[in-house]
Amino acid sequence: MSRRKVGILISGRGSNMQALLDACAAPDYPAEIALVAANRADAAGLERARDAGIATQVVPHRDFPDRQSFEVALDAALRDADAELVCNAGFMRILTPWFVERWHDRQLNIHPSLLPAFPGLHTHERALAAGVRFTGCTVHFVRAEMDAGPIVAQAAVPVLAGDDADRLAARVLAAEHRIYPLALRLVAEGRARVADERVLIDGPACGEAALLNPTD
């Protein structure tokens, strides 16, 4: 089986990165991690990646005079690693249209809400303030507009009585760790494809369709 090479972009602890690393450890998983790149040298996820034997690279955004030159260096690091797909996993930089176009329909992001609801920051506080009964997470292809782009997969999470932002965030994060590997599998297998800015999925969702709307 040919495995698609993936570059992961992080800025912090890399918990979603770890979920992808764990998934890629399975011999039947259709992707492998070629590089973990961070824009911060103190990103805790770098040590996690090194412990797993994954190549890492720091591309400090503050070392560059502008966003474009930073992204040129980041793009070069990914291409030097022969990455075919890119996964943002807590990457806290807004990418320019130049970079987004370079990886068009090959870059995924995960966001802690059921997009298009609650894009941006403070998603859990906003969900609680809005009084929604369900929230969740979304894996989508990256577009120039923040937290927009064709949706690959979503997981719904109930909002429970007595929830605060931290409790809700922990429940959503657990769903993120389940759904990101599923979404990457669908893309790496070529089963998730974009048509008219919507994602079409060929065949069953890996026998794990419940992950798209889990009841637990």
Q: Active-site positions?
A: 111
Please confirm whether the linkage preceding 112 is cis (ω < 30° from 0). Answer: no
Give the C-alpha distances (Å, rounded to integers) separating 126 from 18, 22, 50, 165, 173: 27, 31, 36, 9, 16
Asked if 139 and 180 touch (Cβ cutoff 8 Å), the reply is yes
CA 162 from chain centre, in angstroms, equals 29
Strand partners for 5: 32
Selection from 189, 215, 184 nearest residue 203 by Cα: 189
